[in-house]
Structure 1
Amino acid sequence: MSGAAEHHGKVWWSELMTRDVKAALHYYETVCGWTISQMPMQDPKMGTYYMGSRNDQPVAGIMDMAPLPGMEEVPPHWFTYFAVADLDAALQATKAQGGEILRPPFDIPGVGRIAIITDPTGAALGIMTPAG
């Protein structure tokens, strides 16, 4: 297999969504030994995205969930993204099996094409076709 197909089904990325980014950064730097780097978000109103790395390899992201609409009552949590070879086919299969599309596909240059969904059990997740 090559390209996106070789990564199909893998846990691709996890990110912490929190309202206390400063405390989270300190915790994961201290407990996990992560080195933190910053990356501006596509939407400047969303602030800064933080990436935790271990041995120069990115391992997870941390972001402020406060600016996200509809998240006022949602507690801080880890959110997982799964790689799929064909995002459109995965979305069709999600709907056919009783899942829901919460956020239609969007592109993040250099990262991939992403959609936010629920599976048939109601669990929220991201699915994405990774870039490159």
Structure 2
Amino acid sequence: MTSTGHPHTPAWFDISSPDAPRARRFYQEMFGWPVNVLDETYALVGADGDRPAGGIGQAGPGSPYTGIVVYFQVDDVDTALARAEELGGSRTLEPQTLPGMGRMAVFTDPDGNPVGLLSP
């Protein structure tokens, strides 16, 4: 557990696809997820009336990753990202602030798997 009392468990997922509308349809039909399209590039998914569990976005030529990334809750994104680099990971998406969600970043582990970080 971290000092704030939350375990480092999955807190969010993000699916980045070269065809976001197709991905939204697929996952909505596969799992029955409600989809709240924010714009042509991103949609929130999750239970109706609850906080969304993740999102589906449009990947383009400059996208830092495609596929599914699981985000883990940490106390501080910058500290956790530096620790990932010390352990052999590589930055994929620089830390940034998301309105209403806190801070996020993405790194790849030594095997090349993308991993997300979220902090308040």
TM-score interval for Structure 1 and Structure 2 normalised by the shorter chain: 0.7 to 0.9
Contact 2:70/2:115 (<8 A) preserved: yes
- The separation in 2 between residues aligned to 1:103 and 1:15, in whole angstroms, is 13
Shift of 1:28: 2.1
Aligned residues: 119
More helix by share: 1
Matched, 1:20 2:14: no
Measure, in 2, the Cα distance between the counterparts of 1:70 and 1:24: 16
8 A Cα contact 2:20 2:42, kept in partner: no
Q: Are 1:59 and 2:58 matched, yes or no?
A: no
Aligned to 2:96: 106
Q: Which has the larger radius of gyration?
A: 1
**Structure 1 unmatched ranges of 5 or more:** 41-46
Aligned to 1:6: 5
Report how far residue 9 of structure 1 moved: 0.7
List gaps (5 residues or longer) in structure 2.
none
Cα distance in 1 for partners of 2:22, 2:94 equals 31
What amino acid sits opposite 2:33 in the alignment?
Answer: W
Distance 1:122 1:77, change over 3 A: closer
1:70 CA drift (Å): 5.5
The question of 1:78 aligning with 2:78 is answered no
- Deviation per residue, 1:38-88 (Å, 9 max, x gap): 235xxxxxx43101122433222111102x5166xx7x5211111111222
1:122 to 112, 116, 119: 112
CA distance in 1, matches of 2:63, 2:30: 31
Residues of 1 paired with 2:25 and 2:73: CA distance? 29
Deviation of 1:115 (Å): 1.4
Q: TM-score, normalised by structure 2?
A: 0.80
Q: CA RMSD in A?
A: 2.5
